[in-house]
Amino acid sequence: MAKYPINIGRWLRAAHSLLAPRQEQCLSCGRLGHQSTVLPGICEACARTIPWIRKPRCRKCGRHVGCPDCARGSDGSSLIRNRSAVAYSSEMRQWLSQYKYRGDEKYAEPLSRMLDSAYSILKAEIEAEAKLKWNADLLVPVPVSGLRLAERGFNQAERLAQYISAHRKIPVMELLIRAHHTGKQSFKGRAERLADMKRAFVPNPVWTQPFAGRIPFPDSPNSGIRTVPPSLSPSVRIIVVDDIYTTGSTIRACADTLQGMAISSGIRAEIYSLTWARS
């Protein structure tokens, strides 16, 4: 009988472990198990419990449950609609805090992929309604203050936007910065805080002409482009990106500032938002 080399058993085990699905420690539950094929770092069991929002109850803000605020009618905001990947359950809250506050970079990939699936949903919805191919022209992350950036070392909204940008070939432009407000928020009344939120974001001065060259200026006499009725004029399609949508006041404030920038550049903007979670 032929004699096998003595290390054949070890070799077979190594070959078997290469062929078998990878067993790795799950970021969420810590158990060794088969990793989800779509969400690296997350085991299949945890991936099955994700509270995806595939069909939002509220068409405007993308909420998974009834939404009295939007049902009341137009809020006068420039935001057309928000879509979120998941409901903000206690597990999702833990995932976000591991990433955002504890700096666990391993969450970046699964969270970004989840947000990208919300992009797919938004795109499919608009394409079904408009019966046209649709893609965003620009991604604008919600900015964090300089202090927060120094504490965390990164802006989670910007990281999420960069992933979609690389995947979808849509540019990211940090068109907004946080405005500085004087005085402690906790000493201010509700009206004063709301007024502060409305003015919370201002144009980033590094972009003097953010939309120049990107989108034709339909009504500009020197553009050489035929004037078209406003209803048909091309508009820049902007997606504001953030990790979470709670009351929506942050996203709406960003949308309003962006709309103001577009108007002062002589163009129309369609503003949407994508957030990883909807509370």
Site for Zn ion contains 144 (CB under 5 A)? no
> 170 by DSSP, 3-state: which?
coil
How would you classify residue 76: left for phi > 0, otherwise alpha for psi between -120 and 50, otherwise beta?
left
Q: Are 79 and 252 in contact (CB under 8 A)?
A: yes
Q: How many Å apart are CA 48 and CA 118, to the nearest integer?
A: 17
User: Among 39, 61, 126, 164, which residue sits at the site for Zn ion (rule: CB under 5 A)?
Assistant: 61
Q: Which is nearer to Zn ion, 58 or 144 (CB)?
A: 58
Asked if 160 and 84 touch (Cβ cutoff 8 Å), the reply is no
Judged by CB under 5 A, does residue 29 bind Zn ion? yes
CB of 73 or CB of 229, closer to Zn ion = 73
Q: Does 79 bind Zn ion (CB under 5 A)?
A: no
Instruction: Report how far residue 277's alpha carbon sits from residue 279's, in angstroms, rounded to the nearest whole number.
Output: 6
Q: Give me the least distance between CB of 70 and Zn ion, in Å please.
A: 3
Closer residue to Zn ion, CB minimum distance, 145 or 279: 279
Stretch of 35-43, 153-161, 204-212, 256-264 lying at the interface with Zn ion (CB under 5 A):
35-43
Min. distance of Cβ 57 from Zn ion in angstroms? 8
Q: How far is the CB of 46 from Zn ion (least distance, A)?
A: 3
Q: Single out the segment in contact with Zn ion by CB under 5 A; choices: 11-19, 22-30, 144-152, 168-176.
A: 22-30
**Nearest approach, Cβ of 130 to Zn ion (angstroms)?**
21
Among 35, 39, 41, 46, binds Zn ion (CB under 5 A): 46
> Residue 67, interface with Zn ion (CB under 5 A)?
yes
Give the burial class of 188: count Cβ atoms within 10 A of its Cβ; 0-12 exposed, 13-18 middle, 19 or more buried. Answer: middle
Say whether 76 sits in a helix, a strand or coil: coil
Judged by phi (left if over 0) then psi (alpha if -120 to 50, else beta), residue 208 lies in alpha
Number of residues that bind Zn ion (CB under 5 A): 11
Nearer to Zn ion, 60 or 237 (CB): 60
Q: What angle do CA 87, 186, 98 make, to 5 degrees?
A: 35
Nearer to Zn ion, 39 or 172 (CB): 39
Q: Which span (19-27, 73-81, 84-92, 175-183) binds Zn ion, by CB under 5 A?
A: 19-27
Check binding of 240 to Zn ion (CB under 5 A): no
Q: Does 36 bind Zn ion (CB under 5 A)?
A: no
Residue of the chain from 36, 39, 41, 43 that contacts Zn ion (CB under 5 A): 43
Nearer to Zn ion, 82 or 165 (CB): 82
How far CA 75 is from CA of 237, 256, 275, 277, in Å, comes to 20, 12, 19, 21
Report H helices in the chain.
8-19, 44-48, 68-71, 90-100, 108-130, 146-152, 156-168, 190-198, 249-264
Report how far Cα 219 is from the mean position of its chain's Cα atoms: 32
- Residues of the shown chain interacting with Zn ion in the complex, contacts defined by CB under 5 A: 26, 28-29, 43, 46, 58, 60-61, 63, 67, 70
